[in-house]
Amino acid sequence: MTSAEPFFDFTSVWSSMPMLLKGFGIAMACATVAIILAIILGLIVALMRLSRIKFLRWFAFIYTQFFRGIPLYVLIIWVYFGLAIAAGVNLPAIPAGILTLALLNSGYLSETFRSGILAINKGQVEAGTALGLSRRNVMRHIILPQAFRVIIPPLGNQYVDAIKDTAILSIIGVPELMRESKALANLYYRPFEFYTFAGLLYLFAVLVVSRGISVVEKKLSAHSAQTPATIALSK
């Protein structure tokens, strides 16, 4: 009898470790840049939704509904293979991927910000106004700092989702973890081992981020008593 191949053989995974870790690094970098952009965009859209100008409110509402409703895969294909081709622009994969991820997440985050802002006690606004602060300053110095504390947990979840979503960026050629895993799985004909390992790396990232978020959350709640807002959103 010839020596049978081992059932599970992770040697090719170990020897490809530098490529896989590089892919993982690119995935994490894409998710991080995208979530930072999404925070900025999401905040702008949330403020538009709470604006006194009707047009801005409507625009923000449609923006949120659209980006929350569209699947990332469809959006990315539309941007990269539809819009870019129709407009005749040559989009590099990484910026296109990050931009798409940021737009999608900003839709979700704007809702998070909105509910965070609305969760702040009305009395705070009134007190600010009574002290002669402008609407803008009330928002900037009173509401947003408090709202930000409330939205830490949902923000963390969004970051976790963004990390998982980076796997889809492989279809436009971003050299992230999934793309590297696909290439290596085909090369060594070991799909089970490579995809299992990729899955475990994503699990690792998710666990680390979730842990980090709960540490931050604990630190913040140690500094402040529970407000009605934190109670309302922690459900």
Partner 1 sequence: MNSYKFDWNVIDKYFPELIRGLGITLEISLVGMAIALVFGLLLAMGRLSSMRFIRTVANAITQLFRSIPLFVMLFWVYYGLSLKFHILFTEFQAGALALGITGGAYMAEVFRGGLMAVDPGQREAAMAMGISRGTTFSHVIFPQALRVVIPPSVNVYVGLLKGATIVSVIGVSDMIYVAQYVSLQTFTPFELYSVAGIIFVALTVSISGFAWMLERRLGRGRSD
Does residue number 145 form part of the binding site for partner 1 (CB under 8 A)? no
Q: 92, 199, 212, 228: which one contacts partner 1 (CB under 8 A)?
A: 199
Part of the chain binding partner 1 (CB under 8 A), chosen from 16-24, 46-54, 146-154, 190-198 = 190-198
Nearer to partner 1, 94 or 143 (CB): 94
CA gap 100, 104 in Å, rounded: 6
- Using CB under 8 A, which of 21, 127, 203, 215 touches partner 1? 203
Our finding on whether 34 is near partner 1 (CB under 8 A) is no
Residue with tokens 């050629």, as numbered in its chain: 173
15 phi, psi to nearest 5 deg: -70, -20
Query: Under the criterion CB under 8 A, does residue 68 sit at the interface with partner 1?
Result: yes
Which is nearer to partner 1, 75 or 117 (by Cβ)? 75
| Runs of H (alpha helix) within 79-227 | 84-87, 93-118, 122-130, 135-137, 144-150, 152-165, 177-188, 191-223
Burial class (CB in 10 A: 0-12, 13-18, 19+), 60: buried
Q: Smaller CB distance to partner 1: residue 34 or 139?
A: 34
Pull the structure tokens for residue 44: 């702008």
Site string (112-131) toward partner 1, x via CB under 8 A? --------------------
128 contact partners, CB below 8 Å, separation of at least 6: 137, 138, 141, 142
Q: Is 71 left (phi over 0), alpha (psi -120 to 50) or beta?
A: beta
Selected binder of partner 1 within 37, 70, 125, 133 (CB under 8 A): 70
Residue 35 or residue 167: which is nearer to partner 1 going by CB?
167
Question: Can you tell me the distance from the alpha carbon of 197 to that of 111, in angstroms, rounded to the nearest whole number?
Answer: 34
Among 151, 202, 213, 233, binds partner 1 (CB under 8 A): 202
Taking the complex as a whole, the smallest distance from the CB of residue 60 to partner 1 amounts, in Å, to: 15
| Contact string 76-95 vs partner 1 (x = CB under 8 A) | -xx--xxx-xxxx-------
Tell me the three state secondary structure of residue 8.
Answer: coil
Cα 233 to the center of its chain, rounded Å: 19
Q: Is residue 15 within 8 Å of residue 172, measured between CB atoms?
A: no
Q: For partner 1, which residue of 25, 40, 51, 66 counts as binding (CB under 8 A)? A: 66
Chain residues in the site for partner 1 (CB under 8 A): 7, 65-66, 68-75, 77-78, 81-83, 85-88, 160, 164-168, 170-171, 178, 181-182, 185, 191-196, 198-199, 202-203, 206-207
